[in-house]
Each structure stands twice: as structure tokens, then as C-alpha cells.
């Protein structure tokens, strides 16, 4: 099972998108938001969950 890095839901190994949130299940560099702790893409400027600056 693949775990979604956005919402944490489990998905089938062959899934391309998360069944729960619809986000792509691509492997990629992720960092934790310093404010809310959610996983976000390394190249994002702001957290998609809480709006905190990631710069």
C-alpha cells in the first residue's frame, strides 16, 4: 500500500492518485511545514494547509 504524503491515507500500490484527497501519489522531495507539520513539496513557497511561508 502507498501512503499519501498529503493526507496520510493508504492507497493501492498501483494508484496514481489518492482515493481520499485526489492528490498525485508521486514520489518526490517533501518537507514538513514549520507551523502545522504537514508534508509539503520542497519547492513550495507557502504551505497549502495553513499558509505559512516556507522561505
The pLDDT tens digits of the residues spanning 31-54 come to 899 999 998 887 789 999 999 999
Sign of CA dihedral 29, 34, 40, 41: negative
Distance CA 2, CA 55 (A): 29
pTM (2 d.p.): 0.48
Q: What is the secondary structure of 10-42 as a DSSP string?
A: EE-TT-SB-TTT--B-----EEE-TTT--EEET
The pLDDT tens digits of the residues spanning 21-37 come to 999 887 666 789 999 99
Residue 2: CB atoms within 10 Å: 15
Amino acid at each position: 500500500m502507498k501512503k499519501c504524503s498529503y493526507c496520510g491515507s493508504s492507497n493501492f500500490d498501483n494508484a496514481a492518485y489518492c482515493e481520499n484527497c485526489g492528490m498525485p501519489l508521486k514520489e518526490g522531495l517533501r518537507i514538513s511545514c514549520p507551523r502545522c507539520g504537514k508534508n509539503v513539496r520542497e519547492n513550495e513557497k507557502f504551505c497549502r494547509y495553513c499558509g505559512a511561508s516556507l522561505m
